[in-house]
Structure 1
């Protein structure tokens, strides 16, 4: 069979499947296709079948009913929206359908999942169209609806566009929250741009927002990227004074900064000072440091960390256990 013939058969098969699906949904109540105890996966499959067939009445019915059944939307709910032109051409119909869903959680939840789907596809402009619809209809638009867009933009270092999204939030009557600013803050700090990071902090303070774990995490990263380890330690003291729990990534930024400077002893000392409050965090912190020492071929330092873990009763990863076992065997032979 030629490639052209195969392609023709594939297209024909797709068209037939779409026609059959459309007839199925339009000729019967889609609820009849559900089992007695429907699952989220089953609802996702039916919503996607209905969406691909263009039956948005069925899409609406299923989205309303699934929430009543406790089968909430997932990241797979709108898989029928893809980068394909034909798929994106149905977006207006889908948006209109969502505005007709039951008010409250059902409607807002569906819109938020659609925004996430579009952002995952890299369709930021389309997701902003969805935001505009939410802003001019009773769809529960809030800062959380913007988070996927800001996450997608800041990950691509599109900082100017991110600020324009923040301006859009305000124009639609939505107040930026700490997560909004933390996305921007992390982008500046990851680049070691402490001046821009300070601007973000100023805006947060002007709005009466308190720094949380993610805020401090970004600031510590920024200080470490700028080569200011002492500044990072000062931020950690402030974090401790404010009673904000430290994240694993925050500890590891400082550890990596010490290691990059060749300050191996200080890296161990740093963890000793800050450990003792969270056993999981201690286990991961010391474990990561030991792995880093092994990769750097700093065996004596790795042994020191493993002894510290043993003394503190911290569980070791399989790789560390294996290293310790081999080390003991080598010493005995």
Structure 2
């Protein structure tokens, strides 16, 4: 027993324990702790990639631009509207565009390359460089880089917004020459342009073409139709289109309600405007805030204080957010 007690007592000494296990002197044991593995490098954000590309493009380092376009997609930091922000309508525009045309075909095959082209085309459209955007379209077609209807959307959007309808239809012919079909979004650009101008006849022609290709309208199609009805002063028709959207289970944009509210106020249908927003109240808090706030602001501006108070009291009861000006009006007039 004395031998056992001695062994247990000595075992509490760390030197004895290590010697017993390793068979070596404690002096030969490495007591340095194992260093923790290094932290993985922090991944860059989308904004950081945009900033790096901006700096590279500004300095003329387009090889760096190419590498960053590849790397950002690998890191799931996809291109944004700011990716080619360094490209502006300045003296360096032409040379920068040529450099981009040189390096984009050298980006990674597939999504990376196609999306880089589409992002650049969108940037060119924002700069009003439609002809150059079509040059890139041709580059994509020659290189077989995946042209689709989405590639043409920024061009059609830019042209139809400026009511350059004939030019836009010529772009459609370019699409067809490359076997790229029109889609609902493309038709919606034409439809919205005609409806904004109140040109019901041309809008009807666009709808006829859509139906001829077997396409059904989406939320934006109906939004354009509501806009067209309002621009034509046909509020009843706009309401009928809204009801049809509900019957077909299509989500309604906040802007679609705004079209109706704006036209009702413009026509002097103040009480009907109040009834309209209350009829939809309680289904979508954000919609309630947008619709009621918009109507109240328009009523105050027209000095229709009675109706404005009704709307603001309803907003208060429902706990809806008000803008600063409306809140001040409510506190002075309704408390």
Q: TM-score range by the shorter chain?
A: 0.7 to 0.9
Matched, 1:62 2:62: no
Does 2:167 align with 1:161? yes
- 1:299 maps to 2:305: yes
Q: Which runs of 5+ in 1 are unaligned?
A: 1-34
Question: Are the equivalent residues in 1 in contact too, given 2:313–2:334 (CA < 8 A)?
Answer: no
Structure with larger Rg: 2
Q: C-alpha displacement at 1:74, in angstroms?
A: 2.5
Extract structure 1 runs of 4+ deviating beyond 6 A: none
- Pick which of 200-209 and 91-100 moved more: 91-100
Q: Counterparts of 1:297 and 1:212 in 2: how far apart (Å)?
A: 37
Correspondent of 1:193 among 195, 199, 202: 199
Residue 232 of structure 1: aligned partner: 238
Alpha-carbon separation, structure 2, partners of 1:151 and 1:304: 40
Residue in 2 that maps onto 1:214: 220
**Structure 1 Cα separation of the partners of residues 47 and 268 of structure 2:** 51
Q: Alignment RMSD, CA only?
A: 2.0
Question: Is the contact between residue 309 and residue 333 of structure 2 (CA under 8 Å) also seen in structure 1?
Answer: no
Say which SS state the counterpart of residue 256 (structure 2) adopts: helix
Task: Give ranges in structure 2 of 5+ residues lacking alignment.
Answer: 1-40
Partner of 1:96: 102
Aligned to 2:114: 108
Query: What TM-score do you get using the length of structure 1 for normalisation?
Result: 0.82
Structure 1 segment 280-299 matched on structure 2, within 5 A: 280-299=286-305
Aligned to 1:29: none
Aligned-pair distance for 1:227? 1.4
Cα distance in 2, alignment partners of residues 191 and 179 from structure 1 = 19
- Does the aligned pair in 2 maintain the 1:103–1:138 contact within 8 Å? no
Given that 2:309 and 2:334 are in contact with CA atoms closer than 8 Å, whether structure 1 keeps it comes out as: no
Summarize the alignment of residues 235-254 of structure 1 with structure 2, pairs less than 5 Å apart.
235-254=241-260
The alignment covers a number of residue pairs equal to 295
Q: Tell me the TM-score normalized by structure 2.
A: 0.82
Cα distance 1:297–1:80, how it changes in 2: closer, same or farther (>3 A)? same
CA distance in 2, matches of 1:163, 1:133: 21
CA shift digits 1:133-188 (9 cap, x unpaired): 11222322211111111121112111111111122112111122211111111100
